[in-house]
Structure 1
């Protein structure tokens, strides 16, 4: 399965998924410049504005085009990208960032501090992570064309990680004035990255081409989204391939060079000598989201407790998870690879299973046998639709009827947000390698499903006030414990990620769908 860092414009995010410096160039031979790489993606990006539409495909294509002040390396540690250097005041309230002076946007205009201020101001107002960070920010100002000062109202432990998170991409200030909520169009999809938009046939394919004016950093060993970017390929074509059979056939016949198929394709692809299969870092938190909003069947906490007791998570995972190499039976909201945030808190609740008690609790909560539960889902990511059908089966066993509405991904998200009380359950997965609680959808779903609470807010403030990693980790355990007590999400499992690609693809860092240091062997 694929990572989805911020899934919906007001509540969730795609978080950083990208590619970086090669780890295996010594065995791949010298890089070859030129050619086109064809990448299969499950859905059209809909928009290239990563604030207005921070979905997975948008994020992964966008990271080829745009850059941030900081980017994550292969270990998800924030590293300078557009920042040359920075200083922090002794009281941890003032950060002064000196920008690199050789950076230009893809229309030839130089990067300035005014562009950074405009981009981060928009992030604070319109992106869910930015909205959560904003109360701690006093001001973001330009000192001179190459200096930005960020002043905090109180120390914030993860602020640099948050400046490396999706949504903080730097755009030209002139292109951000007066934008509608739907964001900018193709003509303003201009960044400082190594590739720029060449063409876009909506729903079919999107083509990026090398930006010849790109100036790379010099670091070679950071990997991930950080360090040097060489842009060996002339173009990268992203083909929309929603059907999994077509996706696998295209890999085997050479129609596309790279894909991230569903987990149930893993074993057959791994056995195919004509395809390279490689696990990726991080993973997905696979979740069922109950609606807390008044009018929903799951506004009563007893109904949410019942749902958790009803779900046979091992059976659901076995039915949709594919290889055991890829599925981790855990209630954690962070991947085991994400050592700063992985926690075992709440595992006892995760493992509960008692359908008889679930039926009783649902009746007590006003959802007796014969009631109808409304599930909203999408087949743009096939797992989501499968989980919805399995939910339907589980509920039918205790006499609960279901109505499943299936949409394309963008329409599903719009349906959830436009009618807050018009749905009961939805199915999603989240990026489980994010680097601050404000980026983590499992903790920030309040504007989607009404799960905000004073206790959650207090714990988030406690994390932000941390002064060291031990304090922060202790609070992470409390946050995950609260998630399982509130049941703002019900985690099914963690999924490891994998990519399948042509043996011709060289220099690939096995870091999702970004290829600025990749090339195609002759």
Structure 2
């Protein structure tokens, strides 16, 4: 009780008084727990990154890559040599100029973590600074994804850091939070789990183009941004309607009437593509070290019941069994029906064939993300109906990220299933998606070892014809379902809300706050 009183007191202090016109107070979907946007693919770490760092390229509203920190670039006729020149006047928050060496070091660190970055670095002969503003990338084989990879807005975006920070081993978190973006991170005022503070970078030089998607001029129009951590959605909604905060990233659908009926509040789905929800199974330990048991789990779990419980009305979601998302270039219906309807009898038959003996299935259930709150309990119920022995452990999202890194057995702090979500563009092709990774214990959490996945990804990278790429993507989807690597749980788009004093929010996947204004009165 004492801890709860302290937490409430801290929140009251942070929220005290109405938000002033120079300060934008925001409440995001879940707490910010990692400040390294290359080490962590968390969306909350990504949003933090976009405030303080800049990128070489960025996607516009049409999804086309546009230069951002880059002034000009060229590609050789054979497609193997890329020469990039930085814009003049770029500077970090400490006043040091941004140089080609900073860009090179940042690309190399990113290339150890991001899916597309890994593919590029694997094909790289050299990456070097030619002078202070120019760097050159030389490949050993042509790749058509370089500029798209540098521009992609999510997964792990290519944020440019000072060379010294980018030299941090990829296994360690950075401790220098100096960027060159439109806002500065105020480290002295950072209070984990309570608040994060950002102030306008007065020396930032935005591009001259109008903002479009993640591209164009990033103009900081408020002096200060206060990110307030409020775990309880109802408290967050009340804070918004009372004018104590200005923006809420994710309003749960059951609380939507409280804001949609308020004339002082604007609501919208800023992220049109939406999220894909899904789950991964742990290949390392029983019971999912058995392929038949993994297949049984996929048949036991059905999207429709989960989506109805989580999002209510069918207008709020889309059932979709496409591994690379519905509405994308590489959408496929190959084996997609396995994910739509729960098939408990089929699951029971597979469990009997596998000789399942009641081994515990430990399901990690995220509780602080309103868009996933009902998924775990319904999934657990479906698995139990098929004959699985399920234990569900509740935790916040950042704790789940830490827990799923464990490769220990369930009884030693490990896990069996984790549920996650990705914005659809993050999983829209075989190179971007982490969800299909199957590279053993050095790969992504789940640790399946299915070499055919990587073989097909390499074929996808080398294939210039889109129609043939679609065939490869469909083959990958087939393998993913057959091996039980991943299964999607459908798609939905979160509801954003903000007071009418706020203007200029840009429709995007990531939530960004450049170009945003706040008036004293509305």
State TM-score, norm by structure 1.
0.87
- Would you say 1:442 and 2:406 are equivalent positions? no
Q: Do the aligned partners of residues 242 and 445 (structure 1) sit closer, same or farther apart at CA in structure 2, a change above 3 Å counting?
A: farther
| Count of aligned positions | 484
Report the counterpart of residue 514 of structure 1 in structure 2.
512
Taking the TM superposition and a 5 Å limit, the aligned residue runs for 1:178-189 are: 178-179=168-169, 181-185=171-175, 188-189=176-177
1:315 counterpart = 2:315: no
Moved more, 267-276 or 355-364: 267-276
Match of 1:63 in 2: 50
Q: Is the 8 A contact 1:285 1:495 kept in 2?
A: yes
How far did residue 238 of structure 1 move? 0.8
User: Within 1, Cα distance between the matches of 2:114 and 2:216?
Assistant: 26
- 2:205 counterpart of 1:218: no
| Partners of 1:286 and 1:491 within 8 A in 2 | yes
CA distance in 2, matches of 1:139, 1:349: 44
Rounded to whole Å, the distance in 2 between the matches of 1:504 and 1:141 is 47
- Secondary structure of the 1:97 match is strand
| Mapped partners of 1:81, 1:139: distance in 2 | 23
Structure 2 match to 1:329: 319
SS of residue matched to 1:493: strand
The Cα shift of 1:424 comes to: 1.4
Select which of 84, 89, 97 maps to 2:76.
89
> Secondary structure at the residue paired with 1:85?
strand
Q: CA deviation at 1:209?
A: 0.6
1:44 aligns with 2:28: no
In structure 2, the partner of 1:107 is: 94
2:423 is aligned with 1:431:
yes
Q: 2:491 aligns with which of 494, 506, 509?
A: 494
Greater length-normalized contact order (CA 8 Å, ≥ 6 residues apart) = 1
Note closer, same or farther for the CA distance 1:110–1:285 as it changes in structure 2 (3 Å cut).
Answer: same
Q: Contact (CA 8 Å) 1:261, 1:500: kept in 2 or not?
A: yes
CA RMSD, 1 decimal = 2.3
Structure 1 unaligned blocks of 5 or more:
1-32
Match of 1:340 among 319, 329, 333: 329
1:483: which partner in 2?
480
CA distance in 2 between counterparts of 1:116 and 1:58 reads: 20
Q: CA deviation at 1:228?
A: 0.6
**Given the two structures, how large is their TM-score scaled by the length of structure 2?**
0.87
1:285 matched residue in structure 2: 276
Which of 142, 148, 157 is the aligned partner of 1:155? 142
Superposition map of 1:178-257 within 5 A: 178-179=168-169, 181-185=171-175, 188-198=176-186, 199-220=189-210, 223-257=212-246
Partners of 1:453 and 1:70 in 2: CA distance: 33
Task: Report the Cα distance in structure 2 between the residues aligned to 1:106 and 1:326, rounded to whole angstroms.
Answer: 42
Displacement of 1:53: 2.2
Query: Partner residue of 1:394?
Result: 382
Match of 1:14 in 2: none
Tell whether the 8 Å contact from 2:302 to 2:489 is kept in structure 1 after alignment: no
Tell whether 2:63 aligns with 1:76: yes
Task: Please name the residue that 2:364 is paired with.
Answer: 376
The 1:404/1:60 distance shift into structure 2, 3 A limit, reads same
